[in-house]
Amino acid sequence: MADSRPEPPPRRFVVQLHRARRLHYDFRVEVDGALVSWAVPKGPSLDPKVRRAAFRVEDHPMEYVDFEGIIPAGKYGGGDVIVWDAGTWVPYKDPDPAAALAAGELHIELRGEKLRGQFVIVRTRNDDWLLMHKRDEYAVPGFDPAALPLSVLSGRSSDEVRDDPELMWRSDLPAAEAAVPLKAASHTADGPAADDDELAELDKLGSSGRWHVFGRELRVTNLDKVLFPGRPPVTKREILRYTAQIAPTVLPYLQGRALNLHRFPNGSDAAGFWQKALPGHAPGWLPRWREPESGTEYLVADEPAALVWAVNFGGLEWHPWTSLTDRPELPTYALVDLDPGPDTAWADLLALARLHRTAFEHLGVAARAKVTGRRGIQIWVPVERGPTFAETRAWVERLSRSIGAVVPDLVSWAWERSGRAGLARLDFTQNAVNKTLVAPYSPRPAAGAPVSAPIDWDELDDPGLRPDGFTIRTIGARLAERGDLFADVLGRPQRLPPLH
Ligand code: MN
């Protein structure tokens, strides 16, 4: 008997090549508004003789169907993701996929770019699954998914996406907001930086007023107050403008982390002080985290308006925690702080930084460097969550001691408070909970509003490099030209190799 019901609209499917702890293919099919998912270590095949082991993993939201980018280090699945194949599917046997799934045998016809034809996915007795292609006109004996490694979405390889990702998936955010752009809006047409209208509104305000930016209404005050000397001096209005422009670039380094603010409400010439707890008058919409032991509420700059609020509050320097709020005791970076003594020559500090560069190359450890915007250089090493702060501290201490042994006349140690002043301090003690280094792109309290600027390792050989050579007025052009040179520390979890 002919079935008079219309064919249901095609459902979507995606296969994402995901390099996390292990490379695997995530096979996801739309069922009842969610992506029912399996991890397939060897990937799907069009070879009808092949049965692939598949492991059911949690359903993903439909928003994930187009996701290509990185998952932060230390998060479940941390690594890179490309859309290896995508398209639509229809059931070819059982019209009710949810019931078929429950019964443990789903027959689906895929209409993708790489995968086409009839597949079946069957639950085995031990609750794993097998993915197979039927013998049909699309069958390809000997099909090897690894021979077709590029994204069908962007044409890029996994390495290319890892090295220059556009999106980061934040599973702790609502699905509609979880794909966070990583590129500053001044470099992409559709990024989320403050737009021209928002900046024009700031320009037009008197000395105080209400500014609509990033979907929030903020009361901003003392806009013409000079906060940094310089020619011309830098006003609060200018620093707020910079913040609204740089926020999309900085946010990936702040999100999910408590933020300590170094406040200079009276300008960079006056004494600064640390603000860790959110003040009682902080607006209710600000994302925050209550530290369980102390009960202290910290700001978490999960949205760009939160950073703008912090700057209006005088928080000119941004210091994110080295750990994420869900596991504050576990670092996601090991930090190397090359801290010059009062008489350390810049050339000596560069020599030390180059020795670290060589060490990281030799160890095969990914690390990124930045100048601090004052006199120093810092190196951030992304680590897979697991080691404690005591362990990352011991690792950095061991590394620094080996390097220090090469140039004993250049270095002093964290515990040496006097006597050898003038030498550069290798301060591994920064690897501790709630000890923080300044964020990339954060302004520093000095004339002209210098910023802590990421550098390429090669720039350590550039005679023009200065630790405070980039300012809020010049870093935008550098970003447009070079991209975010620090992005490598995001979504690249790695294990620190043993040091002997
Ligand atoms: Mn996966």
Residue 223: CATH number of its domain:
3.90.920.10
Residue 186 lies in a domain: no
- Are residues 76 and 146 located together in one domain of the fold? yes
CA of 174 to the centre of ligand 1 (A): 19
- Are residues 128 and 201 located together in one domain of the fold? no
Residue 498 lies in a domain: no
Residue 4 lies in a domain: no
Residue 417 has pLDDT above 70, yes or no: no
CA of 199 to the centre of ligand 1 (A): 40
Residue 120 has pLDDT above 70, yes or no: yes
Long-range contacts of the stretch 400-408 (C-beta < 8 A, 24+): 400/336, 400/426, 400/428, 402/359, 402/499, 403/352, 403/355, 403/356, 403/359, 406/355, 407/351, 407/352, 407/355
- Are residues 314 and 344 located together in one domain of the fold? no
Residue that is last in its domain, among 320, 343, 372: 320
- Count the Cβ atoms, other than its own, within 10 Å of residue 293: 6
Residue 495 lies in a domain: no
- Are residues 53 and 101 located together in one domain of the fold? yes
What's the whole-model pTM score? 0.64
Residue 302's domain comprises: 196-320
CA of 249 to the centre of ligand 1 (A): 26
Residue 101 has pLDDT above 50, yes or no: yes
What's the pLDDT score for residue 183? Answer: 65
What's the pLDDT score for residue 448? Answer: 95
CA of 392 to the centre of ligand 1 (A): 27
CA of 225 to the centre of ligand 1 (A): 50
What's the pLDDT score for residue 421? Answer: 61
Residue 79 lies in a domain: yes
**Count of structural domains, the chain:** 3
Residue that is last in its domain, among 285, 320, 355: 320
239 versus 406: the higher-pLDDT residue is 239
Beta bridge partners of 85: 15
Quick one: average pLDDT of 226-233? Answer: 93
- Are residues 110 and 216 located together in one domain of the fold? no
Quick one: average pLDDT of 348-369? Answer: 95
Distance CA 296, CA 316 (A): 21
CA of 137 to the centre of ligand 1 (A): 30
Q: Supply 164's token pair.
A: 């220059």
CA of 48 to the centre of ligand 1 (A): 24
Burial (0-12, 13-18, 19+ Cβ within 10 Å), 61: middle
- Are residues 73 and 217 located together in one domain of the fold? no
Quick one: average pLDDT of 344-358? Answer: 94
CA of 18 to the centre of ligand 1 (A): 5
- Are residues 23 and 168 located together in one domain of the fold? yes
What's the pLDDT score for residue 324? Answer: 93
Of the listed ranges 3-17, 187-201, 292-306, 343-357, the one predicted with least confidence: 187-201
What's the pLDDT score for residue 278? Answer: 92
Quick one: average pLDDT of 477-492? Answer: 90
Please list, residue by residue across 95-108, b when 16 or more beta carbons sit within 10 angstroms of its beta carbon and e when fewer do. Answer: eebeebbeeeebbb
469: Cα separation from own chain's centroid: 25
CA of 78 to the centre of ligand 1 (A): 9
CA of 65 to the centre of ligand 1 (A): 13
> For residue 244, which of 180, 307, 319 has the smallest C-alpha distance?
307
CA of 94 to the centre of ligand 1 (A): 27
CA of 83 to the centre of ligand 1 (A): 12
User: Would you place residue 365 in the very low, low, confident or very high pLDDT band (cuts 50, 70, 90)?
Assistant: very high
Please tell me the total number of residues recorded for the chain in this structure: 500
CA of 186 to the centre of ligand 1 (A): 32
Quick one: average pLDDT of 99-117? Answer: 95
Quick one: average pLDDT of 155-178? Answer: 88
What's the pLDDT score for residue 190? Answer: 32
What's the pLDDT score for residue 392? Answer: 97
CA of 163 to the centre of ligand 1 (A): 19
Quick one: average pLDDT of 99-122? Answer: 95
* 4-8, 276-280, 474-478, range with greatest mean pLDDT: 474-478
CATH number at residue 434: 3.30.70.3300
Residue 419 has pLDDT above 50, yes or no: no
Quick one: average pLDDT of 250-266? Answer: 94
- Are residues 356 and 420 located together in one domain of the fold? yes
User: Would you place residue 95 in the very low, low, confident or very high pLDDT band (cuts 50, 70, 90)?
Assistant: confident
What's the pLDDT score for residue 252? Answer: 94
What's the pLDDT score for residue 4? Answer: 54
Distance CA 36, CA 44 (A): 16
Residue 414 has pLDDT above 80, yes or no: no
Mean pLDDT, the chain, integer = 91
Residue 480 lies in a domain: yes
What's the pLDDT score for residue 389? Answer: 97
CA of 51 to the centre of ligand 1 (A): 19
What's the pLDDT score for residue 177? Answer: 85
What's the pLDDT score for residue 14? Answer: 97
- Are residues 163 and 89 located together in one domain of the fold? yes
Residue 326 lies in a domain: no
Q: How far is CA 378 from CA 229, 352, 392, 429, in A?
A: 25, 11, 15, 13
Give per-residue pLDDT as tens, 5-53: 566 677 999 999 999 989 999 999 999 999 999 999 999 999 999 999 9
Q: Which residues, other chains included, contact 434 with Cβ-Cβ below 8 Å and sequence gap of 6+?
A: 258, 260, 276, 321, 328
Residue 492 has pLDDT above 80, yes or no: no
Q: Supply 197's token pair.
A: 């209208």
CA of 24 to the centre of ligand 1 (A): 7
CA of 486 to the centre of ligand 1 (A): 25
439: Cα separation from own chain's centroid: 13
Residue 94 lies in a domain: yes
User: Would you place residue 428 in the very low, low, confident or very high pLDDT band (cuts 50, 70, 90)?
Assistant: confident
CA of 76 to the centre of ligand 1 (A): 9
CA of 175 to the centre of ligand 1 (A): 16
CA of 313 to the centre of ligand 1 (A): 41
> Omega into 145 within 30° of 0, i.e. cis?
no
CA of 365 to the centre of ligand 1 (A): 23
Of the listed ranges 86-95, 300-309, 377-386, the one predicted with least confidence: 86-95
CA of 15 to the centre of ligand 1 (A): 10
CA of 32 to the centre of ligand 1 (A): 21
CA of 39 to the centre of ligand 1 (A): 6
User: Would you place residue 191 in the very low, low, confident or very high pLDDT band (cuts 50, 70, 90)?
Assistant: very low
CA of 461 to the centre of ligand 1 (A): 40
- Are residues 167 and 59 located together in one domain of the fold? yes
Quick one: average pLDDT of 276-290? Answer: 91
- Are residues 25 and 137 located together in one domain of the fold? yes
- Are residues 16 and 101 located together in one domain of the fold? yes
Quick one: average pLDDT of 204-230? Answer: 94
Distance CA 368, CA 489 (A): 7
CA of 286 to the centre of ligand 1 (A): 32
What's the pLDDT score for residue 408? Answer: 81
What's the pLDDT score for residue 415? Answer: 58
Residue that is last in its domain, among 268, 294, 320: 320
| Amino acid letter, 331 | P
What's the pLDDT score for residue 192? Answer: 65
